[in-house]
Amino acid sequence: MSVRVLMLLRRYPQLSETYIETEIRAVSARHVVKIVSLGIADLPAQTHHPYVHVAVGDTERIVAEIEQFHPDVLHGHYVHHAAKMREVAQRTGLPFTVRAHSYDVLGGGGRRTVRYTADLNDDLCLGVLTFPFTVDRLVRTGVKEDKIVPCRPVVDVDLFADNGPNGSAVMNVGACLPKKNHHLFIDLADYVGPGAYLFDTLDEVVGIIASPLPEYRRQQGFTQARSSDIKAHLPLLEALWKRR
């Protein structure tokens, strides 16, 4: 059954937030979606879902946009967005869901999450989807276990799951930002050993990319990606909406 979903997003359509865009495309294919962006994207994507921009502090207009759309449920991203979700949910009487990421749960050693525990435990919050490895962190900060749904980061696997010959393009799987702790990935690659690729200069990358990828490694990549397929994980979000 189709649900009317109003998404309150932080700065849509931010180019680096493909995780959010993947969810939007999947949800809008099965439900009716309206997006209200509460900030300006510093690097907007050229292709995106229609949206309305409203300043995060303009609660009256946010409520007006919600009431005009008549949604069944509100949905947002990031734990630290839960306070605003709860505020407008209480104003409109609508239930809401939140999809956590990683740094919003892990940042500040968990102190940030404590500030939003009451928002996630509110009766109007149907639940929070969070990475499996962050479940214990949320429980320790006081979020009720029945509010927590473990869910891997979602990927539209069908966009690249092609067993044909590899082309010349390179797929970037994340924003190259300091907060992503890329030095830890390098340490991990060193720990893994021969199964990983290590390089000291960008010139070495050319040789790595030009060399054929062993087929078993390629299939491992597809298997790992399928474990985050949006088609498999969208029902977890839809199940929360059925709680309303």
Boundaries of every domain in the chain? 4-155+229-241, 157-226
- Give yes or no for residue 9 having a pLDDT over 80: yes
> What's the pLDDT tens digit per position in 84-121?
999 999 999 999 999 998 878 877 666 778 889 999 99
pLDDT band of residue 190 (cuts 50, 70, 90) is low
Mean of pLDDT values over 164-180: 63
Residue 172's pLDDT is what? Answer: 55
pLDDT band of residue 213 (cuts 50, 70, 90) is confident
CATH superfamily of 4-155+229-241: Glycogen Phosphorylase B; (3.40.50.2000)
Residue pair 177/103 in contact (Cβ under 8 Å)? The answer is no
> What's the pLDDT tens digit per position in 31-84?
999 999 999 998 899 999 999 999 999 999 999 999 999 999 999 999 999 999
Residue 104's pLDDT is what? Answer: 80
